[in-house]
């Protein structure tokens, strides 16, 4: 066979080789462009993507915020999820802040004081199912911004959406291991929980603004624990957890101060404020009795039971007639009004400094015996022991959470409340700690009693916290001050015991909220 019949001419072969080379080049270029396109899309961070910690069933440390969930604070690896992922993820609301880890960063504006600390968003409302696939182990840091999308580079995983959300985040060491009562006051120019003069349920003597106090510095301070960051009081979350329950404050007028503060904070969060009312219609709360504010939309109440000693005030019939006594061995008659409450906040202390109780002459009684003379601290310890035995015997710890708020420090200069003591014109806290008082002996007695109780009692140690705040008292800004001044009355007393509202008791309630999240039972359990 003649092979020349099947050969091609050289020009023809050159043309075919050229076309084949150009075709191969086009195919290669197309494949390269497609690869680059898919790669670039895979590197983008979708708006609905989140970084979540890897969950571990052996979790022991939890971070609590307004809607918190638990995670292992020692495991900082993060899971990256996007819309194409096989990992199941229910939709998280758009305003939710990302969950992640802080590494080699110090952000003072949000309370970050220690490196490699975990933080969590308060707004994650839906359940999230996460596996350990696609772990992301890169270092991350926070970049602050307002209403911005997520920004990503090799060292950045998130941008917070607003300063308000940053403030709500639990940043720094987890406060389940932190003493939230060990800290300092820091300047805070944000608004108080309820505007000055806005709450109609504040006793006139606590309403410093209405009584003529012009400076506003006393509402511009926030309590900051030394070793952790705490969330603000989320009133909506508080009410939701309190739904169908009773919270009762039991004690003296300082607990009334705290009670009115909490009612005002919770009321401010509601759209229909008329659905908050004292069930008996009372608007004055200074007399002894039981008062209950009902939050109709949540079927719950926040009550106050006036019991300044916790134990029973009584009378004794002696040879020379009847005289008043204090039964150190019997609880007050009011116990039936709060025994079955879901949360009880006790206090007592201030009435033990009055002349009758401090002298203790033929005043303290146990059984049929009236002590001719008994030191007030000894009597206080006996009364607390009676209270502790009653709590251990009568309170169902599975149903009721028990708190005891510590002694609120007073600031009388130049005398006591009834001998010319003053705190007028104090507009700043104490800065120099050498001017602070020693830890109250009554609180040392209380701490000893609580340690020996069977029932868990959460002790709110607010003594040092209040000691700094010499500026927060009503002082001369009281209901009868102007009338007394016109009459040049020598009986004009300054109030350097109670607190202006809004003011310091708002912080007590903030710490009550954190303590409930920290030690939560029932609806408060995380």
Kindly list the catalytic residues. 253, 495, 498
Asked whether the beta carbons of 111 and 174 are under 8 A apart, the reply is no
Q: Which among 303, 306, 261, 249 is positioned nearest to 279, based on CA atoms?
A: 303
Residue recorded with tokens 């624990």: 225
In which element (H, E) is residue 14 found? helix 10-43
Which residues, including other chains, have CB under 8 Å from residue 402's CB and lie 6 or more apart? Answer: 344, 346, 391, 395, 455, 456, 457, 458
The tokens for 110 are 């949000």
Q: Which among 121, 227, 246, 118 is positioned nearest to 178, based on CA atoms?
A: 227
Distance between CA atoms of residues 375 and 309, nearest Å: 15
Question: DSSP labels for 195-263?
Answer: -TT--TTS-GGG-TTTTT----GGGSEEEEESS-------HHHHHHHTTT-EEEEEESHHHHHHHHHHH
- State whether residue 318 is helix, strand or coil: strand
DSSP designation for 386: H
Asked whether the beta carbons of 397 and 456 are under 8 A apart, the reply is yes
Distance between CA atoms of residues 108 and 224, nearest Å: 12
Intra-chain end-to-end CA distance of the chain, in Å: 92
Asked whether the beta carbons of 233 and 193 are under 8 A apart, the reply is yes
Residue recorded with tokens 């899971």: 79
Distance between CA atoms of residues 484 and 480, nearest Å: 6
The tokens for 354 are 């009055």
């Amino acid at each position: 066979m003649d092979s020349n019949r099947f050969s091609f001419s050289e020009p023809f072969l050159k043309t075919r080789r050229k076309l084949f080379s150009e075709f191969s080049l086009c195919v290669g270029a197309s494949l390269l462009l497609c690869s680059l396109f898919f790669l670039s899309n895979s590197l983008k961070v979708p708006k609905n993507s989140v970084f979540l910690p890897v969950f571990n069933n052996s979790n022991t440390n939890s971070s609590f915020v307004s809607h918190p969930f638990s995670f292992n604070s020692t495991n900082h690896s993060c899971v990256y999820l996007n819309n194409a992922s096989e990992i199941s993820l229910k939709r998280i609301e758009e305003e939710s802040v990302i969950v992640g880890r802080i590494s080699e960063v110090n952000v003072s504006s949000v309370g970050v004081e220690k490196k490699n600390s975990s933080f969590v968003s308060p707004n994650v409302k839906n359940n999230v199912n996460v596996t350990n696939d696609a772990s992301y182990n890169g270092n991350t840091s926070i970049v602050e911004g307002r209403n911005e999308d997520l920004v990503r580079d090799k060292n950045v995983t998130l941008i917070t959406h607003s300063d308000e959300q940053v403030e709500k985040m639990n940043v720094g060491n987890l406060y389940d291991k932190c003493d939230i009562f060990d800290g300092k006051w820091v300047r805070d120019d944000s608004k108080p929980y309820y505007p000055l003069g806005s709450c109609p349920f504040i006793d006139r003597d606590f309403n410093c603004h209405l009584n003529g106090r012009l400076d506003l510095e006393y509402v511009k301070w926030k309590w900051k624990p030394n070793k952790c960051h705490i969330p603000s009081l989320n009133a909506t979350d508080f009410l939701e957890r309190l739904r169908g329950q009773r919270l009762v404050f039991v004690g003296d007028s300082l607990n009334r101060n705290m009670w009115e503060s909490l009612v005002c904070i919770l009321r401010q969060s509601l759209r229909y404020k008329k659905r908050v009312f004292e069930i008996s219609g009372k608007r004055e709360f200074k007399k002894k009795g039981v008062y209950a504010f009902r939050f109709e939309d949540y079927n719950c109440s926040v009550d106050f039971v006036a019991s300044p000693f916790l134990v029973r005030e009584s009378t004794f019939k002696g040879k020379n007639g009847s005289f008043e006594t204090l039964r150190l061995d019997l609880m007050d008659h009011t116990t039936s009004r709060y025994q079955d409450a879901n949360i009880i906040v006790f206090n007592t202390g201030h009435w033990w400094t009055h002349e009758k109780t401090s002298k203790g002459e033929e005043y303290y009684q146990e059984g049929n015996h009236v002590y001719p003379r008994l030191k007030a601290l000894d009597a206080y310890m006996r009364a607390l022991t009676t209270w502790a035995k009653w709590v251990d015997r009568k309170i169902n710890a599975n149903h009721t959470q028990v708190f005891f708020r510590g002694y609120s420090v007073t600031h009388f200069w130049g005398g006591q409340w009834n001998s010319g003591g003053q705190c007028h014109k104090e507009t700043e806290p104490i800065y120099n700690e050498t001017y602070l008082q020693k830890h109250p002996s009554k609180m040392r007695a209380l701490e000893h009693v609580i340690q020996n109780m069977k029932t868990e009692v959460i002790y709110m140690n607010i003594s040092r916290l209040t000691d700094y705040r010499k500026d927060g008292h009503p002082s001369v800004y009281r209901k009868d001050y102007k009338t007394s001044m016109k009459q040049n009355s020598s009986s004009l007393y300054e109030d350097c015991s109670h607190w202006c509202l809004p003011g310091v008791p708002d912080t007590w309630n903030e710490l009550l909220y954190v303590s409930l999240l920290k030690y939560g039972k029932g609806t408060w359990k995380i």
